[in-house]
Amino acid sequence: MEQNQQVFFSIRRRLGTIDGQIINYLHSRPFDLGNLPEIVMLTLLEYWSPFAISADGVDGEELRQRAIWSIKKLEAQAALIREIFLSSHVQTAVTANNAEVGDSADGQRLVSTINDENDQTLDEDIDDLAELVLPEEIKQINSLFNVE
């Protein structure tokens, strides 16, 4: 295919499906990744680019570097998902600022604070915080989102 030709595609999904939920979520520009087409292309690049360039005959160091790049991006995404949704501190209910939000039997919105007897304030255990070493996955996430 010539370089000046364009390739385009369109995706339409019903909002009530997981596909529709994903598209709707991506329209909100999560993590300031850009608009929907940019996020979709970023995702496709991370997931499929080594296969695509290999199919076009690229090999050797260029393919190796692309594969490493893709693996690092996918590992960072896996680490982000793990940290947000699978960490031991994640509550099963939706939480915001240590408050659990739910509905009462009569339909009113309820907010209750979550108190964990194992919680410590910063003042109680400042020495342990000084010894904290970030796991490699968290370092990758921080690097991905330019956080130091």
Domain contains 48: yes
Domain contains 12: no
Q: pLDDT tens digits for 28-39?
A: 999 888 999 999
Domain hosting 98: range is: 18-114+136-144
Other Cβ atoms within 10 Å of 137 Cβ, number: 15
pLDDT of res. 79 = 95
Domain contains 62: yes
Q: What is the DSSP letter of 109?
A: E
**Owner of token pair 């796991």:** 135
Kindly state the tokens that stand for 14.
């019903």
| Rounded average pLDDT over 6-35 | 90
Domain contains 121: no
Q: pLDDT tens digits for 90-106?
A: 554 444 344 444 444 44
Domain contains 120: no
Domain contains 131: no
Contacts of 33 (CB under 8 A, 6+ apart): 39, 42
Q: At what angle do helices 136-144 and 60-81 cross, to 10 degrees?
A: 100
Q: How many domains does the chain have?
A: 1
Q: Above pLDDT 70, what percent of the chain? A: 58
**Owner of token pair 């309820």:** 110
